[in-house]
Amino acid sequence: MPLRETEAIVLRTYRLGEADKIVSLFTRQVGRLRAAASGAQRPKSRYGGMLEPLTYIRLWLFERENRDLLRINSTELLESFFAMQGDYRVQLAAQYIAEAAERFLPEREVNERAFRLLLAVLRALKASREIDRPLLYYNYWLLRLAGFLPQLEQCCACGRALAGEEIFYGDETQGLVCSRCRTSRSRKISGEAFSLMEKMRRSPLDAWMASEPLAPAVREARRLFETWMEACAERKLVTLELLAAES
Amino acid sequence: MSVFAGPLSRLIDELKRLPGIGQKSAQRIAFHIERAAREDAERLSQAILEVKDKIRLCNLCNNLTEQDPCEYCSDPTRDQSVICVVETPYNVVGIERTREFHGLYHVLHGALSPLQGIGPEQLRLKNLMERLKSGSVKEIIVATNPNVEGEATAIYLSKLIKPLGVKVSRIAMGIPVGSELEFADEVTMLKAMEGRREI
């Protein structure tokens, strides 16, 4: 029964029996996995607040052959995002990040870039208490790292270059289309939102957060990516619905 | 073919659906019931049916009750100016055991949990807001669980209630009585430091 050490971000927890918890984790060295933490619900649990959703921890895990569920041996806190609960919209955004990570990152597949993305976006949310720019950045990179990002320079139907064209998107196309390939349900995307996406793709998160793009264009681009996220996930993301109600 | 006779097998299947009861425990309880006197079995089934027939939610505080309003809301000796907001009816029992709180309760029947699709609409907040309109309530004590969901609910409530001119307080978070500081994790210790009080 080997003991593994890894860094991880807690995505969510489930109650298990009277005193235990199942913890869904995105680990740096193993990828996404689930592990049991015995006694984690007890008031004097040795885990304390370290297994709360979106906590960045180092943990030691026992792994048994032919068993999906690992067992947590001990944990050490690296960074807590508990203070983000002070703002309901920020909490919704943080939980959306966790839900999307669970949906898009396959189990037991190491993805160092996705791990760094998750951590960086959580830090940006914590520091800025703003949700639009961090979420837009997260959506774009998560789709890209998970291999779902559609072509953004060309029409996904006819392959025509989109620069200087009227651009549309819709639930049914999962990509951008030109005015000739649009359907009756396609929605137009503004030039500001399109050029904003161009800028974001070339910027590291710090530079992106330091820039001051037009808020309506950021929201428009965010909506576009969220439409693709749900289309790729092939189901509604529950946190997205609550986020939309708060916006 | 089932190993047990039909009625026994059905009873085991029903018991297995209860929280914390697995196959072995269900078998043990089922055999105990089979061996018990008929009156004992009748009392048990009657008690289960009575819970289903007679227990309902108090219209004022949403606590589980046989009479409406519940015994806490209808007790004139309790302090009507303080309401303690909790997540579940079990939490009321936990606070009552202290014998130190003499105010009223309000049960939300959940906490904000976006990942489970639980938003403000799913919580029982409407009748809490109606109780506050009367103007007799001076303080709301938010006693939701000290976790992410409970904390978010507490903050949400404070933003909703404070504009009405009602004091909103939060139960303390920190080191459990009887434990030792060296075993406290950083988040708990931080909360304990933040919630320190003058002595």
Q: Please say if the pLDDT value at position A175 is more than 90.
A: no
Top-level CATH class of B6-54? mainly alpha
Measure the CA–CA gap between A56 and A76, rounded to whole angstroms.
9
pLDDT-derived band at A43 (thresholds 50, 70, 90) equals: confident
Q: How many CB pairs under 8 A join A and B?
A: 75
Return the residue matching tokens 């916006």: A247
pLDDT in tens, chain B (199 residues): 678 888 999 999 999 999 888 899 999 999 999 999 999 999 999 999 999 999 999 999 999 999 989 999 999 999 999 999 999 999 999 999 999 999 999 999 999 998 888 989 999 999 999 999 888 899 999 999 988 899 989 999 999 999 999 999 999 988 888 888 888 888 888 888 988 888 8
| Average pLDDT value for chain A | 88
Would you call B195 an interface residue with chain A, using a CB distance cutoff of 8 Å?
Answer: no
Q: Residue B60 has what pLDDT?
A: 93
- Provide the b/e sequence for B146-181 (b: ≥16 CB within 10 Å): bbbbbbbbbbbbbebbeeeebebebbebbbeeeeee
All residues at 6 or more sequence positions from B173 whose CB lies less than 8 Å from its CB, including other chains = B146, B188, B191, B192, B195
Among A196-200, A211-215, B49-53, B156-160, name the one with the lowest average pLDDT: A211-215
Closest CA to A47 of B195, B191, B186: B186
**B-chain residues near A77 (CB < 8 A):** 185-187
pLDDT-derived band at A173 (thresholds 50, 70, 90) equals: low
- Whether residue B27 contacts residue B12, with contact meaning beta carbons closer than 8 Å, is answered with yes
Q: Residue A79 has what pLDDT?
A: 92
Q: Which of the four CATH numbers 3.90.79.10, 3.20.20.140, 3.40.1360.10, 3.30.365.10 does domain B76-173 have?
A: 3.40.1360.10
Q: Please say if the pLDDT value at position A93 is more than 70.
A: yes
Measure the CA–CA gap between A69 and A33, rounded to whole angstroms.
8
Closest CA to B152 of B118, B193, B106, B102: B118
Across the interface, whether the CB atoms of A85 and B155 are under 8 A apart is answered yes
User: Residue B187 is nearest to which of A18, A48, A241, comparing CB atoms?
Assistant: A48
Q: Please say if the pLDDT value at position A171 is more than 70.
A: no
Domain extent listing, chain B: 6-54, 76-173
| Domain pair B6-54 / B76-173, same fold | no
Cα separations in angstroms, A129 against A125, B51, B153: 5, 46, 18
Average pLDDT over residues A82-101: 89
**A-chain residues near B178 (CB < 8 A):** 44
Would you call B186 an interface residue with chain A, using a CB distance cutoff of 8 Å?
Answer: yes
pLDDT-derived band at A17 (thresholds 50, 70, 90) equals: confident
- Whether residue A112 contacts residue A121, with contact meaning beta carbons closer than 8 Å, is answered with no
Across the interface, whether the CB atoms of A46 and B156 are under 8 A apart is answered no
Would you call B114 an interface residue with chain A, using a CB distance cutoff of 8 Å?
Answer: yes
- Complex ipTM over 0.90: no
Q: Where are the alpha helices (DSSP H) in chain A?
A: 88-104, 112-128, 132-145, 191-201, 205-210, 215-233, 238-246
Domains and CATH numbers, chain A: 3-80 (2.40.50.140), 85-246 (1.20.1440.120)
Neighbouring CB atoms inside 10 A of A34's CB total 16
Would you call A39 an interface residue with chain B, using a CB distance cutoff of 8 Å?
Answer: no
Across the interface, whether the CB atoms of B191 and A52 are under 8 A apart is answered no
Residue of B nearest to A76 (CA): B185
Q: Please say if the pLDDT value at position A152 is more than 70.
A: yes
Closest CA to A42 of A51, A31, A33: A51
Q: Please say if the pLDDT value at position A163 is more than 80.
A: no
Would you call B162 an interface residue with chain A, using a CB distance cutoff of 8 Å?
Answer: no
Measure the CA–CA gap between B107 and B91, rounded to whole angstroms.
9
All residues at 6 or more sequence positions from A160 whose CB lies less than 8 Å from its CB, including other chains = A154, A178, A180
Q: Residue A181 has what pLDDT?
A: 84
Residue of A nearest to B174 (CA): A48
